[in-house]
Amino acid sequence: MSHGEALGDRWNSIPNEELFSFHPMVDAAGQGRIRLIAKKSIPEEFSLIFGEMLYQMRSALDTCIYQAAIYVTSQDPPPDGQKLEFPVCKDASDFAKTAKRRLSVFPQAVQDGIEKIQPYNIPSLAPDLMVKNLNRALGILHDLARKDRHRRLHVVGNWALSVAPIIEVPPGVSVTSLKIMNAGPLGSDQDLATFQLVGFRDGMTVSASPNLLTTIGLDEPPPPCHVSDTFAQRLQMMLDVVNSVISAFELYV
């Protein structure tokens, strides 16, 4: 969790003004936009810290299996220790094959418990409950850890939580429509909001602020299923699923 706190502290120390500039623009027809332009990239340390977190969490699951095998077999190292790992599988047939190769030292009840938490056993849930599902969190952790091992993980610090534009117009001018971007990753050059003005004439001055709230984010699948499905929430759920698995094995041994 200390790595997560380090990420949060580092992110909170960077003002939005250092990362972005905002440019309101209005054409002669009164069509306006608030344009965001990135000024600099997110420091590489974000990827390094998060990658270390993924490694530690995934390693904890494999270590848990290894230690449990020592308990079951009363051998240290356990038989075929190099094959032991906590499996994360795409479907039941894949799990059956993997369990035969890597979990054969464990009683069937333990294998059934490991299968129960597999991503393919995600129940049908409302979006706000899906965010807190452990099966889903295990799948996300496994996918991110796999990507981090084989390529550079793309940590996106520029993630919009909310955009609530404030538009100041001259007397006699009104805003008749306003379209705001949804929560999500911020690109290097994009519109945060578009709007239409009535009564606007060329030469008038219009000021606008995006009133933008950002957080550190991760532009990796699956896409958010709910407004609460943030990077911080996913990180917490990945920690929760690791702790839940370890706690279950501690009760077993």
User: Among 136, 140, 108, 132, which Cα is nearest to 120's?
Assistant: 136
Pick from 148, 149, 178: nearest CA to 163: 178
- The residues that bridge with 135 in the sheet, in sequence order, are none
Q: What share of the chain is helix, strand, coil (3-state, %, to 5)?
A: 45, 20, 35
**Beta carbons of 169 and 206 less than 8 angstroms apart:** yes
User: CB under 8 Å to 243, separation ≥6 — which residues?
Assistant: none
Q: Report the alpha-carbon distance of residue 136 to residue 116 in Å, rounded.
A: 12
- pLDDT given at position 177: 97
C-alpha dist (Å) from residue 62 to 3, 40, 41, 69, 113: 20, 38, 34, 11, 15
Task: Please report the pLDDT score of residue 161 as a whole number.
Answer: 87
Per the omega criterion (within 30 degrees of 0), is the bond before 224 cis? no
pLDDT in tens, the chain (253 residues): 566 677 777 777 888 788 889 999 999 999 999 999 988 877 778 888 888 899 999 999 999 999 999 999 999 999 988 889 999 999 999 999 999 989 999 999 999 999 999 999 999 999 999 999 999 999 999 999 988 876 666 666 778 888 999 999 999 999 999 999 988 888 889 999 999 999 999 999 999 999 998 888 888 889 899 989 988 899 999 999 999 999 999 987 6
- pTM for the predicted model, two decimal places: 0.84
pLDDT at 46: 82
Q: How far is CA 14 from CA 8, 126, 130, 151, 158, in A?
A: 10, 35, 31, 26, 11
Alpha helix ranges (H) inside 103-218: 108-116, 127-130, 134-150
Strand-pairing partners, residue 103, are none
